[in-house]
Amino acid sequence: MENFKVEVDPDGIAVFLFDVPGRTMNTFTGSAVADLDALVARIRDDPAIKGAVLASGKANGFCAGADLGEMGDTAGRPVSGAAREAVLIDSSRMSRALRALETVGKPVAAALEGVALGGGFEFAQAAHRRFAARGLARVGLPEVTIGLLPGAGGTQRTPRLAGVPAALKLMLSGAPIDAETALAQGLVDAVVEPGQTVEAAKRWILDGGEGVQPWDRPGFAMPDGPYTPKGGETFMIAAADLQARHYGNYPARQNIVRCVYEGFGLPMDAALRVEARLFLATQRTPQARAMIRSNFLSKQALAKGSARPQEVAPFKVNKAAVLGAGMMGAGVAYAQARAGIETVLIDVTQEAADRGRSYSQKLVDAAVARGEMSAAAASSFMARIVATPDYSAIAGCDLVVEAVFEDTGLKADVTRRAEAMLEPGTVMASNTSTLPIGVLAQASQRPESFIGIHFFSPVDRMELVEIIVGVQTSRETLAKAMDYCRALKKVPIVVNDSRGFYTSRVFESYSFEGLEMLLEGIAPAIIDNVGRMTGMPRGPLELLDDVAIDLVDRIAGQRRRDLGVNGPLAGPELVLHQMVSAGRLGRKNGVGFYDYPEGGSKRLWSGLAALYPVKVATSSPELVESLKRRLLYRQAVEAARCMDEKVVTAARDADVGAILGWGFAPWTGGPMSLIDTAGVDVFTADCDALALAHGARFAPPPLLRRMAQSRQDFYPSSPEA
Ligand code: NAI
């Protein structure tokens, strides 16, 4: 066995230490799965072995799950006919090995000191007992977050251990749970002190623990099964909830529910065959391919800064300043302090700077109240943030982020004042959301050190950062900005300087398409419902309300002035202007496309129909399909234009930026993945048709035509398996 070390103690207990060579964390690579057969054979055939303990040789956990790099290779590839049976045998290999493990005839226990996720938790579930370390162990089945389902017995053993309600919650949320919660749900059998799990597991074996699973004993009944009141109710709600919240966009979710329902009354061997078929079907959907790629592999690569200029030495930020202690500045200061960076938070008055610092205090206090942070850690956290109006405190900083009002003159002024305090080469970054970096860099004495670091709101929760490279920005500055983002545990995408950069530009196309529909007379309720049906987090109109209509109107006005566009307002820009003129700014003043009655839920503004008369009040499947297509394709074609104009240079950045930045339908894997899944040629032809019907905003850029002609994809293509 390449991935397991085994030691048999004098009592005849074999401890198998899972330790994949050359990795910091265990994953089930093909080689580790292959080792499982040898592991089972050893337990079964070695007469000296009385029982076995499964443990980890890694300091940071038991196992993080399947190796998604390998899995990503076959995901989404269609498979049919005779090939399907051969592929099924291969894809269910781990499931069969784990079934052999739990029927090996000797007691097996798992010792969980850290995370046991996905395939790692399924491995542990095939043991007859699980011992988890207090405060360290976390278990979960996160497959759904990448468009998959647990395919090595998880959909069968989890409900048999924990009952239908807890099992579906674990698998449909994908969120891991701590040892105590797992114990309460029956997913682990004991919680012991850290470092004691192997001993506890051995003790259980020595005390006569039996190597038989509950479901292999006669008369086994699943707790809270589908035909109990609790289990039945969960199924009814789960089916309705999937439709209501996910509109059938995620086959993995439906198939998880199917696995539990179809498998529950069957003997384990048959139940596992049901799961194996549904796993393969799920793994071969375009959604799984797209989600494994964007939501996991690409995101991980970007988080590690894989596109960072390699020739630049690693850069450590010890001290950094934030100019402007408003909403964004306060959030950036918190993120820096959390990363251990000494932070100077500057605003025009001491009072304003203190207000920004108090934002961190609130978050830290809440963490202490939840028991997640000690009082000592809280006070050293807060000691890292110095709030002051005095620019001289910036001296000695390695990096400065400017987050003052969105005003070119003001930004120029603070840039000059900050640079006067800084060593040459110190990174000067702007958090501007709309102003060109090239223009802001004009105020800088050293434009090569000037860069855009665009955070998203709320900074402590949003993972994405859009790094904007100006024409004069040096590669060294880019590398340093990426290292800074990595220290903050953010996921950076790199874009070139241009109007709206990448995220704001493409995001706007979604809300504007909704406004086009409004002008065409489509009922506003239909527009927002269809928006959510595409998998976007909100409909276009409600989203405009949340962002603030006057903000979007101001940005559009600035663009017209910058581009020298004169003449009367028309289209979506006219709608924005009319709404602002009517005093309807969105959620922030309680009236926008919706009314927000105090204590009640929002409802569409009744006056909207007078401004935009409804011509299409009832929907049909055909209408829904055509509107869905417009809302998604409008964004995808704009993203393709960004690729064409080299605003973004990698499909990976475009996809991850879209999903993390504005919640672009995650099931698609992002706009470039959406185009690939449709087929570049098909997408291009569809956009031509949309352009004819609705206008040049759908016209495919030259890049798409070239790609369609030479049969290229944004990602390497997926031949039939
Ligand atoms: P804000 O209005 O909450 O905060 C701006 C702060 O800058 C205020 O506290 C103000 O007192 C301070 N300030 C003004 N002049 C100053 C000076 N000379 N020196 C130091 N501080 C000064 O604004 P917000 O929302 O935090 O935005 C800041 C920047 O971040 C803007 O460029 C905005 O476009 C950008 N941004 C905003 C996002 C958002 O969702 N609000 C998202 C991403 C970027």
Q: Which residue's CA is minimally distant from atom 15 of ligand 1?
A: 404
Please state the rounded mean pLDDT for residues 309-323: 97
State the pLDDT at residue 717: 65
Cα angle 106, 110, 115 (rounded to 5 degrees) comes to 160
Residue 292 near residue 68, CB atoms below 8 Å? yes
3-state secondary structure of 549: helix
Distance 432 CA to ligand 1 centre (A): 9
- Residue 354 alpha carbon to ligand 1 centre in Å: 15
- 504, 470, 132, 96: which is closest to 275 by C-alpha? 96
Query: Is pLDDT above 60 for 146?
Result: yes
Ligand 1, atom 42, lies closest to the CA of 456
Q: How many CB atoms lie within 10 A of CB 341?
A: 22
Distance 557 CA to ligand 1 centre (A): 19
CA of 485 to the centre of ligand 1 (A): 19
Q: What is the DSSP letter of 404?
A: S
Active-site position among 246, 454, 577, 694: 454
Rounded CA gap, 417 and 414, in Å?
5
Report the chain's terminal Cα–Cα distance, integer Å: 29
- Alpha carbon of 368 to ligand 1 centroid (Å): 28
At 660 the pLDDT is 98
How do residues 205-237 score in pLDDT, each as one tens digit?
Answer: 999 999 999 999 999 999 998 899 999 999 889
Instruction: Indicate if the pLDDT at residue 718 is higher than 60.
Output: no
Measured CA to CA, the distance from residue 603 to residue 545 in angstroms comes to: 12
Bridge partner residues of 626 (DSSP): none
What was the pLDDT predicted at 72? 77
Nearest to 321 by CA among 449, 405, 410, 414: 414
Q: Quick check: 721 pLDDT over 50?
A: no
Q: Does residue 432 line the site of ligand 1, with CB under 6 A?
A: yes
Q: Is the C-beta atom of 41 inside 6 A of ligand 1?
A: no
- Is 295 a residue whose pLDDT tops 60? yes
d(CA 457, CA 464): 10
Q: Is 406 in the pocket of ligand 1 (CB under 6 A)?
A: yes
Flag whether pLDDT at 690 surpasses 60: yes
Query: CB–CB of 84/27 below 8 Å?
Result: no
What is the Å distance from ligand 1's center to 474 Cα?
Answer: 26
122 lines ligand 1 (CB under 6 A): no
Catalytic status, residue 454: yes
Helix (H) or strand (E) holding 604: strand 603-604
Residue 61 has pLDDT above 80, yes or no: yes
pLDDT of 558 higher than 90: no
pLDDT (tens digit per residue) in 159-177: 999 999 999 999 999 999 9
> What pLDDT, on a 0 to 100 scale, did the predictor assign at position 78?
84
Ligand 1 pocket, residue 324 CB under 6 Å: yes
Identify which of 405, 466, 554, 587 to mutate to test ligand 1's pocket (most ligand atoms within 8 A of the CB).
405
CA distance 396 to 421: 8
Beta strands, E only, 412-517:
427-430, 450-455, 464-469, 491-496
Give the length of the chain. Answer: 721
Look up residue 140 and give its amino acid: G
Nearest-Å Rg of the Cα atoms of the chain is 28
- Give yes or no for residue 403 CB within 6 A of ligand 1: yes
199 pocket-lining for ligand 1 (C-beta < 6 Å): no
Percent of the chain topping pLDDT 70: 99
Alpha helix stretches (DSSP H) within 310-374: 327-338, 350-369
**Residue 32 Cβ < 6 Å to ligand 1:** no
Average per-residue pLDDT for the chain: 96
Residue closest by Cα to atom 8 of ligand 1: 326
Mean local confidence (pLDDT), 293-300: 95
Nearest protein CA to atom 12 of ligand 1, as residue: 324
Quick one: which atom of ligand 1 is closest to the CA of 328? Answer: 26
Q: Could you report the per-residue pLDDT of 323-379, keeping only the tens digit for each?
A: 999 999 999 999 999 999 999 999 999 999 999 999 999 999 999 999 999 999 999
User: Is 404 a pocket residue for ligand 1 (Cβ < 6 Å)?
Assistant: yes
Q: Of all atoms in ligand 1, which is nearest to the CA of residue 413?
A: 18
Instruction: Give percent above pLDDT 90 in the chain.
Output: 91
Cα-to-centroid distance, 325 and ligand 1 (Å): 7
Does 348 contact ligand 1 (Cβ within 6 A)?
yes
Q: At which residue do the structure tokens 């055909």 appear? A: 622
What is the Cβ-side half-sphere exposure of residue 378, based on CA atoms within 13 angstroms? 17
Helix (H) or strand (E) holding 346, with range, is strand 342-346
Among the atoms of ligand 1, which is closest to the Cα of residue 331?
26
Q: Where are the beta strands (DSSP E) in 76-193?
A: 108-112, 115-117, 129-133, 138-140, 177-178, 190-192
What DSSP state is assigned to residue 538?
Answer: S
Q: What is the DSSP string of 296-319?
A: IIIHHHHHTTTTS-TTSPP---SE
Q: Is the CB of 344 under 6 A from ligand 1?
A: no
| Ligand 1 lined by 89 (C-beta under 6 Å) | no
Ligand 1 mean position, distance from CA 326 (Å): 5
Q: How far is the CA of 327 from the centre of ligand 1 (A)?
A: 7
Q: Compute, in angstroms, the gap from residue 407 CA to the centroid of ligand 1.
A: 9
> For residue 716, what pLDDT is reported?
81
Q: Which of 322, 323, 327, 414 should be mutated for ligand 1, with most atoms under 8 A from CB?
A: 327
For residue 666, report the distance from its CA to the centre of ligand 1, in Å.
30
**Residues sharing a CB contact under 8 Å with residue 120, sequence separation 6 or more, in sequence order:** 26, 27, 28, 61, 62, 63, 64, 65
Relative to the CA of 404, which ligand 1 atom is closest? 7
327 lines ligand 1 (CB under 6 A): yes
**Which mutation among 332, 355, 433, 550 tests ligand 1's pocket best, with the greatest number of atoms within 8 A of CB?**
433
Residue 656's nearest CA partner among 639, 668, 669, 675 is 669
CB distance 350 to ligand 1 below 6 Å: no
Q: Which ligand 1 atom minimizes the distance to the CA of 411?
A: 18
Residue of minimum CA distance from atom 9 in ligand 1 = 326
pLDDT of residue 81: 82
Which ligand 1 atom is at minimum distance from the Cα of 325? 9
Q: Is the pLDDT of residue 606 over 70?
A: yes
Distant-in-sequence, close-in-space partners of 319: CB < 8 Å, separation ≥ 6:
341, 342, 343, 344, 396, 397, 398
Q: How confident is the model at residue 720 (pLDDT cuts 50, 70, 90)?
A: very low
> Does 437 sit in the ligand 1 pocket, CB within 6 Å?
no
Task: Write down the residue that tokens 């101001």 correspond to.
Answer: 554
Q: Which of 357, 394, 431, 466 to mutate to test the pocket of ligand 1 (most atoms within 8 A of CB)?
A: 431
| pLDDT at residue 719 is higher than 70 | no
